[in-house]
Amino acid sequence: MGLVVQKYGGSSVADAEGIKRVAKRIVDAKKSGHQVVVVVSAMGDTTDELIDLAEQVSPIPAGREFDMLLTAGERISMALLAMAIKNLGHEAQSFTGSQAGVITDSVHNKARIIDVTPGRIRTALDEGNIAIVAGFQGVSQDKKDITTLGRGGSDTTAVALAAALDAEVCEIYTDVDGVFTADPRVVKKARKIDWISFEDMLELASSGSKVLLHRCVEYARRYNIPIHVRSSFSGLRGTWVSNEPQGDRKVEQAIISGVAHDTSEAKITVVGVPDKPGEAAAIFRTIANNEINIDMVVQNVSAASTGLTDISFTLPKTEGRKAIDALEKTKSAIGFESLRYDDQIAKISLVGAGMKTNPGVTASFFEALSDAGVNIELISTSEIRISVVTRADDVKEAVRAVHTAFGLDSDSDEAVVYGGTGR
Amino acid sequence: MGLVVQKYGGSSVADAEGIKRVAKRIVDAKKSGHQVVVVVSAMGDTTDELIDLAEQVSPIPAGREFDMLLTAGERISMALLAMAIKNLGHEAQSFTGSQAGVITDSVHNKARIIDVTPGRIRTALDEGNIAIVAGFQGVSQDKKDITTLGRGGSDTTAVALAAALDAEVCEIYTDVDGVFTADPRVVKKARKIDWISFEDMLELASSGSKVLLHRCVEYARRYNIPIHVRSSFSGLRGTWVSNEPQGDRKVEQAIISGVAHDTSEAKITVVGVPDKPGEAAAIFRTIANNEINIDMVVQNVSAASTGLTDISFTLPKTEGRKAIDALEKTKSAIGFESLRYDDQIAKISLVGAGMKTNPGVTASFFEALSDAGVNIELISTSEIRISVVTRADDVKEAVRAVHTAFGLDSDSDEAVVYGGTGR
């Protein structure tokens, strides 16, 4: 039996009862003969409460101190979890990100892991301990300051430790049963996916699926660490994310893995751009200089009569104001006519490696939307994904229609169980 | 202008408003030209809440993990305080005990500081920062584990840093105006002491005065660091504790510094001990082997007729059960008749270096108690202290009578102001 890394999110350790339940599960893994490393997030709403406090003392909290503050949350949960395990008669030691050897760059609040040197973890395991590690945090290589990894950072911590320790699997415990073919809150007949490839999971993650973040999956793919996403409230098999199907079940690769949707983006259209070399570059250089990440980009064919074209792109709504301001300032230099901003959009994406060899997929996708009366505003495709932008009001209907059209609906009439606490 | 270490307790930083008020005070010290190092405790009830959580997951929390847990409290307060200072336009950086170079032994929950290597603090100061340091915590020299210093640990952190950084003064900010000639809750006419010697302060601390702990004063005396105890709610001068009177005010050494009382102790009387060599040693070896600290010890003259004597000693009530159990087990080996346990006692102590050269002090002390109708059960003296044990019910009357008899009552009719928040 090898080494297992388990990661528990904040909802799994929201209170003392949750911590005790998780402790039992960890001890079970240890009893089955594994070496166990556990990565844990802050309890329930702790992080939000700390952010609240910070805002009360300072409207714009400084990066270094903000990270120092937030890392208190995992310190609490990891120490309590280690105590709960010891109370069950097993040895456990907790480690901060710094003690666990999670080395990052110095970009506070969204640091990137640049190395993992888990010497103390290895020693603790060799001495028979279960090692509990604070998720979401590390220590900067140059200044030795405490850093945090940003959203989804605990998942990334878990995968990075799994890679550094050459783990068999990285188990991500959450309050849902796994990755679904669509958001079960929107599609009642969404099915749990038994296995999905890294590539398809990456596309789902960047298309709005919230279960795993892109960055974590990317890390797992690079080091070929299988991820098992499962519920901390049940003993059920969840979703395996890996290069090849895992375990005893032979799983055939589906043509389509799932349908994702995203309503967090807005669309900016730059109207009346002279259709000549360098114009698009100037627009996107302006955006990049303001450190704004954009998603889809579409340029229409220019009208021959005017020599002008329109360029549309999508970006997070939170960056909308900044992008508009930046572009307005360069209006005369770039020479476009006007800007249109639209935050009432949704993006719907169909993901599946099978579409590479099934030429009818695109057509079926558009037909399904058309039959549902959903108008398409933008289209963007990759090798294993088709995304469209529609009106935000149409998103639920669109996702359901596509899910049904591609035969993804569950046979069972029972509603999908997701979440164990009602959270 | 030199370097000042300031320490703020939990009641001074109980909420966001408190943190902002403390931040202003710190910035004022910086503006006046000092380099400023701040040691801060956990906010208000944070530590109690963390202890509560620990008890919910494990009845007897393990030392290492308990320390990891508790140190989250200071991490929160120090980061918030640094943010609040930066919000006032001054540079501040927060440091954990480990980052500040507070090196301890490995005795979790009550570690002792064995070295302070404040290289990072010095660098932060030289770069113009205010340095904020977590009180109460350190890192163990051998295992590099996080440790806590036990009760009053933040005061000790402050004094230890002041010594390592060669500070001008260590300012201990609290919710009272300083050290008083008696507990102002008992004696309405208690006076704030302007200056007190290390020696007298040590005796007061070990006699029940709660403002400064013995350990912190001992550390300050060893390195000759003046302590200024003062309120974080007012700008008033508090009490200076040092070798010689400080500042522009010439303060004459009082004959008597103050009256302390302590109701946290119990008395055990070992009845009918054979009055021969080795008997007392056997009793106190038994106590010591159980790691119980005792305070006063009194042996009566043995009755010639029986050759038996009684030995009485006082100890913390919390250790009473353990001491009785340990002594009962050795009853036949030691050969005493019985044990008496009494937790309805109080200790009243008169402290002052002046009593060395004023032979009437002891007599006046006993007369004052007698006039107040207070019976004395045990007496113990040092060079600069007289302590008696009385009934617990008599304690308030006894303290007031002694306070008046030695002319310590304030001339003012106004009640002493202590505390700014009503806490």
Name which of B124, B145, B146, B142 is nearest B133 in CA terms.
B124
pLDDT score, position A249 = 54
> Looking at the predicted structure, is the pLDDT value of residue A134 above 50?
yes
> Looking at the predicted structure, is the pLDDT value of residue B4 above 60?
yes
Our measurement of the distance from residue A207's CA atom to the centroid of its chain's CA atoms, rounded to an integer in Å, reads: 10
Least confident of A219-223, B191-195, B298-302, B354-358: B298-302
Residue A57: which of B56, B57, B87 has the nearest Cβ? Answer: B87
What is the β-pairing status of strands B308-316 and B265-274?
antiparallel
DSSP type of residue A172? E
Average pLDDT, chain A: 90
Summarised one tens digit per residue, pLDDT across range A177-189 is 999 999 999 999 9
Average pLDDT over residues A401-418: 75
A86 inside 8 A of chain B by CB: yes
Average pLDDT over residues B392-398: 96
Residue A64, both tokens = 């270094």
Please give the class, per CATH, of domain A3-175. alpha beta
> Looking at the predicted structure, is the pLDDT value of residue B364 above 80?
yes
Q: How many residues does chain B have?
A: 423
Place B415 in a pLDDT band, splitting at 50, 70 and 90.
very low
Give the residue from B17, B64, B80 with the most A CB atoms within 10 Å of its CB, the best one to mutate. B80
3-state secondary structure B13-61: CCCHHHHHHHHHHHHHHHHCCCEEEEEECCCCCHHHHHHHHHHHHCCCC
pTM: predicted TM-score of the whole model, two decimal places = 0.82
pLDDT score, position B60 = 79
Summarised one tens digit per residue, pLDDT across range B318-359 is 999 999 999 999 998 888 999 999 999 999 999 998 887 777
The C-alpha atoms of residue B189 and residue A423 are separated, in whole angstroms, by 58
Place A423 in a pLDDT band, splitting at 50, 70 and 90.
very low
> Looking at the predicted structure, is the pLDDT value of residue A359 above 70?
yes
Name which of B72, B134, B75, B138 is nearest A77 in CA terms.
B72
pLDDT score, position A421 = 33
Residue A57: which of B19, B65, B68 has the nearest Cβ? Answer: B19
Asked if A92's CB is within 8 angstroms of B68's CB, the reply is: no
B142 inside 8 A of chain A by CB: no
pLDDT score, position B383 = 83
Summarised one tens digit per residue, pLDDT across range B62-114 is 799 999 999 999 999 999 999 999 999 999 999 999 999 999 999 999 899 99
Residue of A nearest to B86 (CA): A62
Q: Which residue shows structure tokens 């919710």?
A: B175
Q: What are the φ/ψ torsions at residue B312 (nearest 5 degrees)?
A: -115, 145
Asked if B20's CB is within 8 angstroms of A87's CB, the reply is: no
Q: Higher pLDDT residue, B281 or B326?
A: B326
pLDDT score, position A155 = 96
Q: Where are the beta strands (DSSP E) in A305-377?
A: 308-316, 338-342, 345-351
Domain boundaries, chain A: 3-175
Summarised one tens digit per residue, pLDDT across range B195-220 is 999 999 999 998 999 899 999 999 99
Average pLDDT over residues B9-14: 93
Residue A84: which of B20, B57, B66 has the nearest Cβ? Answer: B57
Place B253 in a pLDDT band, splitting at 50, 70 and 90.
low
pLDDT score, position B135 = 96
> Looking at the predicted structure, is the pLDDT value of residue A296 above 90?
no
Name which of A332, A331, A336, A342 is nearest A377 in CA terms.
A342
Tell me the shortest Cα–Cα distance from A12 to chain B, in angstroms: 15
Which residues from B are below 8 Å from A72, CB to CB?
Answer: 72-73, 75-76, 79
For residue B349, give the H/E element and its range.
Answer: strand B345-351
Residue B57: which of A16, A66, A94 has the nearest Cβ? Answer: A16
Q: What's the complex ipTM?
A: 0.78
